[in-house]
């Protein structure tokens, strides 16, 4: 008998590496978020999904729905490859919009065993958004613009509406140069006119650009791209600038996430909030993913804003606060070394504010167990202006592997360090001062590795709040 999604979730609940309050499918592989839309008041999240196993391949669109961006309900698969169709080897990433009273998905279909033929396709949903009909005229865009100098990377449509019609950006690459975003226009989402490259990168910005997002935020335009480094998936970059005559000119740029978050997708909800969700990649071998039976998690949705310096700010949606459980609070502690806190857990929401002196350092260790080395440390060093994430995991019961990530994070004079950390099984989302994001994964060897240590030298802890987080699936 086929196991129901709820039964699968129940069975895998004993796996303490599985997140409890982040979305992931009942089992198997998930990567990019797709088709984010608020339709008839409900949030729809689609996702790149392999229904046949926990590794990438056989890509469909999975589907889930929510009233609050936190609690999700599993729905049947929305899109599957059609044998002989333009998406016969994969239903790749894309977006969803509302058009003439119907929800419409625009996605990339692939053909060929290496997905080397990539075209853009359209599907229309029923009123409840549950059943999707592929358009008879698919593919609606099939030719890579000649200036690309290649014909195999051309994907991930992101569509928005302007006073004079619909616009689409597509991720691609220019041979021997780097990533490029191509721009199109349409009146009906079916017939598209090519308007030229919106923006072209160079080798510094990666070889292929995937999953573009392009939108106006306040009075500026933001372009987000996932930069594929050629061999493995890479980093998410953003550019802020102006948009005139169908060309984008950046005035500032930054890294959206220094860690495991990739292929994010954003949309505007009925509160006019720009909300972003990203795929939190695993950091373990294929064999381990197969043994676990699942792979891939979506980030907690984040609200986007810009500061005066043209930096992208991100904060978890406030809806997350409504599910917080038991709470502990500390304040006004002069830090001189490690303090083991009377707070434990592998699913926590943490908000901390520190004032380090010029030579100070401060942070937290999570998933720790007494003096054992296994843990993840999140440390700020004031002298170098660096945020350091150091992971130590036991291997084969004795030796340790150490993995450190060091990223720049400069504070203004008198600006405190503000850390928001969402710990959830093997997921660690870290956002410093709402503008430096570093998402990480750590797979503790024991369920008892759940202590929180406060770390610091020459630093005042202004405040620390820790909430235990529940499962969203009960």
| Binding site residues, ligand DQQ, CB under 6 A | 31-32, 48, 59, 92-93, 108, 155-156, 210-211, 226, 233, 262-263
Number of Cβ atoms within 10 Å of the Cβ of 400: 12
Tell the burial category of 457 from Cβ atoms under 10 Å away from its Cβ (0-12, 13-18, 19+). middle
DSSP state of 52: T
Number of Cβ atoms within 10 Å of the Cβ of 75: 17
Q: How far is the CB of 252 from ligand DQQ (least distance, A)?
A: 25
Q: How far is the CB of 464 from ligand DQQ (least distance, A)?
A: 35
Catalytic positions: 32
Beta-bridge partner residues of 108: 120
Pair of tokens at residue 38: 């608020």
Q: Positive or negative CA dihedral for 224, 229, 231, 234?
A: negative
Assess contact for 18 and 9: CB atoms under 8 A: no
Q: How far is the CB of 3 from ligand DQQ (least distance, A)?
A: 25
3-state SS assignment for residue 160: strand
Closer by beta carbon to ligand DQQ, 106 or else 320: 106
Give me the torsion for CA of 108, 112, 115, 121, rounded to 10°: 0
Q: How far is the CB of 352 from ligand DQQ (least distance, A)?
A: 32
Residue with tokens 């510094």: 204
Q: Positive or negative CA dihedral for 276, 132, 140, 31?
A: positive
Residue 282 sits at the vertex; the CA angle it makes with 305 and 261, to the nearest 5 degrees, is 15
Assess contact for 351 and 434: CB atoms under 8 A: no
Q: How far is the CB of 53 from ligand DQQ (least distance, A)?
A: 14
Closer by beta carbon to ligand DQQ, 50 or else 460: 50
Cα 19 off chain centre by: 15
Closer by beta carbon to ligand DQQ, 179 or else 356: 179
Closer by beta carbon to ligand DQQ, 156 or else 257: 156
Assess contact for 325 and 474: CB atoms under 8 A: no
Closer by beta carbon to ligand DQQ, 55 or else 406: 55
Q: How far is the CB of 18 from ligand DQQ (least distance, A)?
A: 21
DSSP state of 205: G
Number of Cβ atoms within 10 Å of the Cβ of 236: 27
Q: Positive or negative CA dihedral for 427, 428, 434, 435?
A: negative
Pair of tokens at residue 153: 């990377």
Closer by beta carbon to ligand DQQ, 233 or else 299: 233
Q: How far is the CB of 283 from ligand DQQ (least distance, A)?
A: 16
SS3 breakdown of the chain: % helix, strand, coil, rounded to 5?
5, 60, 35
Q: How far is the CB of 92 from ligand DQQ (least distance, A)?
A: 3
Residue with tokens 């043994």: 291
Q: How many helices (H) and strands (E) in the chain? A: 2, 32
Closer by beta carbon to ligand DQQ, 108 or else 433: 108
Closer by beta carbon to ligand DQQ, 173 or else 375: 173
Residue 444 sits at the vertex; the CA angle it makes with 440 and 446, to the nearest 5 degrees, is 160
């Amino acid at each position: 008998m086929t196991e129901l999604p709820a039964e699968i979730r129940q069975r895998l609940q004993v796996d303490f590496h599985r997140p409890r309050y982040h979305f992931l499918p009942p089992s198997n592989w998930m990567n990019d978020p797709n088709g984010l839309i608020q339709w008839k008041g409900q949030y729809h999240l689609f996702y790149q999904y392999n229904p046949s196993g926990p590794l990438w391949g056989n890509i469909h669109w999975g589907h889930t729905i929510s009233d609050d961006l936190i609690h999700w309900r599993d729905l049947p698969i929305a899109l599957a490859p059609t044998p002989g169709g333009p998406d016969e080897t994969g239903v790749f990433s894309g977006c969803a919009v509302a058009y003439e009273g119907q929800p419409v998905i625009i996605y990339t279909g692939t053909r060929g065993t290496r997905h080397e033929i990539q075209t853009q396709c359209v599907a229309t949903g029923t009123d409840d958004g549950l059943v999707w009909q592929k358009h008879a005229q698919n593919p609606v865009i099939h030719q890579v613009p000649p200036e690309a100098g290649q014909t195999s990377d051309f994907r991930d449509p992101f569509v928005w509406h302007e006073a004079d019609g619909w616009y689409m950006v597509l991720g691609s690459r220019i041979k021997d140069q780097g990533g490029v975003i191509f721009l199109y226009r349409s009146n009906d989402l079916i017939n598209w006119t090519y308007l030229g490259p919106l923006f072209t990168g160079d080798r510094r910005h990666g070889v292929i650009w995937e999953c573009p997002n392009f939108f106006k935020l306040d009075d500026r335009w933001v372009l987000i791209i996932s930069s594929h480094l050629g061999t493995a998936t890479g980093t998410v970059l953003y550019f802020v600038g102006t948009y005139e005559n169908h060309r984008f000119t950046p005035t500032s740029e930054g890294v959206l996430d220094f860690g495991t978050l990739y292929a994010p997708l954003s949309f505007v909800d009925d509160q006019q909030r720009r909300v972003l969700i990203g795929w939190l990649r695993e950091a373990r071998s294929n064999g381990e993913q197969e043994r676990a039976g699942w792979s891939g998690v979506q980030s907690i949705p984040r609200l986007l804003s810009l500061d005066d310096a043209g930096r992208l700010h991100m904060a978890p949606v406030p809806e997350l606060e409504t599910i917080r459980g038991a709470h502990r609070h500390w304040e006004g502690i002069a830090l001189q070394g490690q303090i083991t806190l009377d707070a434990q857990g592998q699913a926590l929401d943490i908000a901390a504010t520190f004032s380090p002196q010029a030579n100070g350092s401060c942070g937290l260790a999570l998933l720790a167990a007494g003096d054992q080395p296994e843990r993840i440390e999140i440390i700020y060093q004031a002298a170098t202006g660096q945020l350091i994430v150091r992971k130590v995991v036991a291997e084969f019961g004795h030796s340790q592997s150490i993995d450190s990530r060091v990223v720049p994070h400069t504070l203004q004079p008198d600006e405190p360090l503000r850390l928001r950390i969402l710990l959830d099984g093997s997921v660690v989302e870290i956002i410093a001062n709402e503008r430096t994001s570093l998402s990480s994964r750590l797979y503790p060897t024991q369920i008892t590795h759940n202590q929180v240590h406060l770390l610091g030298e020459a630093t005042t802890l202004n405040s620390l709040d820790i909430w235990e987080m529940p499962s969203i699936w009960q």
